[in-house]
Structure 1
Amino acid sequence: MARGRGERSLAAAAFESTEKTAPASGFYFLPHMSNGLALDRGLVEDDLVGTRDPGDADLDVANVAGDIGIPIDLEALGFWLKALMGAPTSGDNSGNSGYYIHTFESGAWSLPSFSLEKQVPDVPSYEMFRGCRADTLRLTLQRGGRVNGTVGVIGQAVTTPASSTAAGTPSSYALSRFMQRQASVEIDASAQANVVSADFTFSNNLDQVDTVTGDEFIGGLDPMRAAMTGNLRLRFASESLFTTAKAGTPIALSFVLTKSATEKLTLAMPRVFLSVPGRPVEGPGGIEANFSFMAARDTDDSAMLTATLLNTVESY
């Protein structure tokens, strides 16, 4: 009997036309390093009195959620940005035939749902999660290695694992991963030389609708107020950012990943507020300060976060 192995597992996903109904086609394989999306049912203990030993336990309601570790790449990332922020505005990259610009903006009142099939062909086991929405994206920039992220997903239904796929023959995105050496952090449009690391969490703060549905699952997922928070760790080389933070003056903050002029990801926040950190001397080495930040919509009510992805994919 074959045993399931992570190295053989696959994830195929497609956006839904009808929420909680898996599409018959249109699936794409999504590259990932880990897939924690799963159905979990806890136990409810016996509450009857009259005997010292308990009676039978019962299964409680179903919870469908989990984190998926993803590479930050040129093509498949567009699927996750659409899931997190809604459909982009897409168009030709002017003067560059075969290249396109996709602009995703936070703040949409509704978000698309998708179905994701978790495939373990060695068993075989094919489990279709339906009515899924992307709740969070976490990402860290540092000096070396690949740029990876974690997407938090919540689902509304799941089918009993089958022995064959229900995703048809999925398409594949070309894998072109961003490296940390291709990253830069910009404050007020100027690249910063003293950033040791940067991280952020974008959250849709999905509200699980705990209605009585008769099928053990939640009744829906409603996006609440979005949030963009994170940290900037800098070598202490100037008082400038401390002065800005103390004054409560917002900055424009961007995380930029660049392969070339036509292959690029920019995560731009036009209005970011910084905490005022300490700068402890912890020995003879360099002095560092950790600024936490919160992003806000711009003064003209434009998006808190704009993600611009340049690649060869025509549309998402």
Structure 2
Amino acid sequence: MARAQGARAQMALAFETVYGSPPGNGFTRMPFASTSLGSEQPLLDSELLGYGRDPLAPIKDAVTADGDVVVPIDAEAFGFWLKAAFGDPVSSGAGPYTHTFHSGSWVLPSMSIETGMPEVPRYAMYSGCMLDQISWQVQRSGLLTATARLVAQGETITAITGAGVPGDLALQRFGHFNGEISRNGAALGNVVSAEITYANNLDRIETIRSDGRIDGADPSIAALTGKIEVRFADSTLVAQAINGDPCALEFAYVLPSGEGFSFVAHAVYLPRPRIEIAGPQGVQASFEWQAARDSALGRMCTATLINSIGTYS
């Protein structure tokens, strides 16, 4: 008897033409480290009396389908998650191609994502998937991954795949050692670690349906927040926090072969931090920043991906 193992798990993704309707083809195999994407339907206890001390059968409640997917930040596959977060990019070039994603779009694509365990066999197709939040950390060492939080409409489980034979991508991962953080175009030194979180703050449309699923998920006011931990060497960031002025923060990764990923928050506001001297070691300061819309550019952030893929569809 075959037993399910995570090492054999597969994931395929395709963008939908109609929300909640998985396409018949066009799926792409996606690299991932782990996923909690799933569907659940809780039970409601019976409140009825008059049948003795033993309760009557419970009633099924509404269906909830959501979860996280941990993915590598790489040169090609990460573009699918950026499109899910920001919408269609503006692509240019003739190889390598430059894909530019802007925040602020009211129209976000939905996806069908299938997770498969062939040895059971069990294939779960999650339709109507929309990206609610994406986040990652910047540090000196370790694996560079991002966590995508998804809201789905529903789950369909079968014994055969519904994704056909998915297309493959070349896996070219970025590493922390490929990264650099800039402030207003100049390298920002003394950074120990950083966190970035972009949220679409999806509003689930919970209409009354016979299948218990949601009708969709609409993006509301977006949010871009994060945290920077720095060794306290000068008062540049503290002075900015006191004055209340915004700055542009860029997080960029470049591979020796030319592929690159950059993420720019155009108007970042810093809170005034508490500078603590905890002992004889170096003094660190922590800034939990917030980004806002830049009035000159008309957007809050820009993500740029340079790779060999002509288009994301």
TM-score by length of 2: 0.97
Quote how far apart the aligned CAs of 1:301 are: 5.3
DSSP 3-state at the match of 2:82: helix
The correspondence of residues 1-150 of structure 1 with structure 2, limited to 5 A, is: 1-50=1-50, 51-92=52-93, 98-150=95-147
Quote how far apart the aligned CAs of 1:262 are: 2.8
What are the Cα deviations for residues 149-172 of structure 1, in whole angstroms up to 9, with x where unaligned?
10001101221x111111111001
Contact 1:145 1:181 (C-alpha < 8 Å) held by counterparts: no
Q: Which residue of 1 aligns with 2:248?
A: 252
Q: Which residue of 1 aligns with 2:305?
A: 309
Q: Which residue of 2 aligns with 1:290?
A: 286
Identity across aligned pairs (percent)? 40
Please say if 1:230 is aligned against 2:205. no
Question: Which of 212, 237, 262 in structure 1 is aligned with 2:208?
Answer: 212
DSSP 3-state at the match of 2:63: strand
Quote how far apart the aligned CAs of 1:216 are: 0.8
Quote how far apart the aligned CAs of 1:261 are: 7.3
The correspondence of residues 144-223 of structure 1 with structure 2, limited to 5 A, is: 144-159=141-156, 161-223=157-219
Q: Relative to structure 1, is the Cα distance of residues 173 and 180 closer, same or farther in structure 2, using a 3 angstrom cutoff? A: same
Quote how far apart the aligned CAs of 1:279 are: 1.4
Contact 1:276 1:291 (C-alpha < 8 Å) held by counterparts: yes
In the alignment, the residues of structure 2 paired with residue 128 and residue 134 of structure 1 have an alpha-carbon distance, to the nearest angstrom, of: 16
Q: Which amino acid aligns with 1:305?
A: C
Q: How many residues align?
A: 311
Q: Structure 2: which 5+ runs fail to align? A: none
Q: Structure 1: which 5+ runs fail to align? A: none
Moved over 4 A (4+): none
Let me know the Cα RMSD of the aligned residues. Answer: 1.1
TM-score by length of 1: 0.96
In the alignment, the residues of structure 1 paired with residue 257 and residue 199 of structure 2 have an alpha-carbon distance, to the nearest angstrom, of: 29
